[in-house]
């Protein structure tokens, strides 16, 4: 078989290619589960269309198999290269968009990321999530409401973030718990905590996904962000981040396409000595403050 890059194919060639696609589609016709049947047939349709559109060469197909094999080989309990691949292709974010339809003023969702941990410590309102993680202190406050504006008391707010060196606690390989916590909104739906001013960090890029980013001249760096997961009864769980207005990485592009304009927040710098909202003494340290009002959609939406 010759390798070809021409897009001009004969009617007979086109007929043979379509005939194959049709046969594969038909092979799934007796799938008992309707949804599985739909998924497999749509996958077949799009996969064949891709191969035909780009006139995929056999060498390229082998390269693709080798790439996916390498993605599998580097994956273990601590490293999930397939999720990374899904992320950098925007497939994770597209799945989030499909599953979190717009609903009034409901806060937009974004990628979950690999660094959430169950059982992060509980802190009181105004508490500190840093747990020793280095970084500039940042006061974060806001409200949790539903789409009618009703305050949501006792909403569970999970927050987690990288330290100023760009690492999450779990990446240090010891048992530290830092830069993560959960708290509950008060009777007026208000919440507040001390975190760290977020800084950009690269996704793990020493594997096949990193090589793909390098080959396509793409940055592995994520725009600086602070993760949130907010849950309350009868409301849609919100998994999101807030991003830092003015972060240069917003212009370069977030490597996993997680940025939504509505999630970019002002992190106002506070010179050393500026009184803190809760009287905390930060000595000669600069700090920052931001506000993030969270609106949860109804769970049935
Ligand atoms: Fe993150």
For 180-195, write each residue's pLDDT tens digit: 999 999 999 999 999 9
Spacing, Cα 10 to ligand 1 middle (Å):
50
Taking Cα atoms as reference points, which of 198, 116, 186, 178 lies closest to residue 154? Answer: 186
pLDDT in tens, 49-100: 999 999 999 999 999 999 999 999 999 877 889 999 999 999 999 999 999 9
| Euclidean distance between CA atoms 63 and 48, whole angstroms | 17
> What percent of the chain is modeled with pLDDT above 70?
97
Q: How far is the CA of 174 from the centre of ligand 1 (A)?
A: 19
Taking CA 244 as the corner, what is the angle to CA 104 and CA 182, rounded to the nearest 5 degrees? 70
Ligand 1: centre distance to CA 242 (Å): 10
Mean pLDDT, the chain, integer: 95
Using DSSP's 3-state secondary structure scheme, residue 12 falls into helix
Q: How far is the CA of 62 from the centre of ligand 1 (A)?
A: 33
- Asked whether 175 and 203 are in contact (CB, 8 A), the reply is no
Q: Does residue 253 surpass a pLDDT of 70?
A: yes
- Please tell me the predicted confidence (pLDDT) of residue 171: 87
Classify the C-alpha dihedral 51-57-60-66 as positive or negative: positive
pLDDT at 2: 45
Q: How far is the CA of 94 from the centre of ligand 1 (A)?
A: 18
Instruction: Round to whole Å and give the CA distance between 294 and 123.
Output: 19
Ligand 1 centroid from CA 72, angstroms: 23
Q: Are 290 and 267 in contact (CB under 8 A)?
A: yes
Does the pLDDT value for residue 228 go beyond 60? yes
Ligand 1 centre to CA of 279 (Å) is: 29
Q: Please report the pLDDT score of residue 237 as a whole number.
A: 97
The dihedrals phi and psi of 184, each to the nearest 5 degrees, come to -125, 140
> 3-state DSSP helix/strand/coil percent for the chain, to nearest 5?
30, 20, 50
User: Dihedral through CA 247, CA 159, CA 121, CA 199, nearest 10?
Assistant: -10
120-139 pLDDT, tens digit each: 999 999 999 999 999 999 99
Q: How far is the CA of 169 from the centre of ligand 1 (A)?
A: 11
d(CA 278, CA 127): 10
Task: Find the mean pLDDT for residues 34-58.
Answer: 98
A 10 A CB-CB count for 112 gives 17
DSSP letter (8 states) at residue 151: B
Give the pLDDT confidence score for residue 216 in this predicted structure: 97
pTM exceeds 0.85 for this model = yes
Residues 6+ away with beta carbon under 8 Å from 205 = 213, 214, 220
CA angle 94, 114, 245 (to 5 degrees): 70
pLDDT in tens, 155-175: 999 999 999 999 999 888 888
pLDDT score for 5 = 52
**Distance of alpha carbon 7 from alpha carbon 5, whole angstroms:** 6
Alpha helices (runs of H) in 89-207, residue ranges in sequence order? 91-99
| Banded model confidence at residue 1, pLDDT cuts 50, 70, 90 | very low
Task: Inform me whether the pLDDT recorded for 294 exceeds 60.
Answer: yes
**How many CB atoms neighbour CB 43 within 10 A?**
12
Cα(97)–Cα(82) distance, rounded to whole angstroms?
19
Q: State in Å: Cα 115 to ligand 1 middle.
A: 7
pLDDT band at 48 (very low <50, low <70, confident <90, very high): very high
């Amino acid at each position: 078989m010759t390798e070809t890059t021409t897009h001009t194919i004969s009617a007979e060639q086109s007929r043979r290619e379509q005939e194959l696609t049709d046969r594969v589609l038909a092979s799934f016709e007796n799938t008992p589960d309707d949804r599985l049947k739909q998924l497999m047939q749509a996958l077949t349709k799009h996969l064949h269309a891709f191969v035909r559109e780009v006139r995929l060469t056999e060498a390229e197909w082998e390269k693709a198999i080798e790439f996916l094999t390498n993605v599998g080989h580097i994956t273990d309990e601590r490293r999930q290269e397939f999720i990374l691949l899904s992320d950098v292709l925007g497939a994770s974010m597209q799945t989030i968009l499909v599953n979190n339809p717009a609903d009034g003023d409901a806060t937009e969702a974004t990628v979950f990321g690999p660094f959430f941990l169950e059982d992060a410590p509980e802190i009181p309102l105004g508490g500190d999530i840093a747990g020793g993680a280095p970084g500039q202190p940042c006061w974060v406050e806001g409200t949790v409401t539903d789409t009618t504006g009703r305050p949501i008391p006792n909403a569970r707010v999970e927050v987690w973030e990288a330290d100023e060196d760009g690492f999450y606690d779990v990446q240090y390989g010891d048992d530290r718990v830092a830069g993560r916590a959960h708290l509950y909104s008060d009777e007026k739906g208000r919440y507040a905590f001390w975190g760290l001013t977020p800084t950009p960090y690269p996704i793990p890029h020493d594997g096949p996904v990193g090589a793909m980013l390098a080959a396509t001249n793409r940055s592995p760096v994520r725009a600086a962000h602070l993760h949130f997961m907010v849950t309350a009864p009868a409301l849609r769980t919100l998994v999101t981040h807030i991003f830092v207005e003015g972060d240069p990485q917003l212009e370069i592009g977030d490597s996993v396409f997680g940025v939504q304009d509505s999630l970019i927040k002002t992190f106002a710098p506070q010179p050393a000595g500026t009184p803190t909202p809760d009287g905390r003494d930060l000595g000669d340290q600069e700090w920052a403050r931001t506000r993030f009002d969270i609106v949860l959609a109804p769970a049935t939406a």
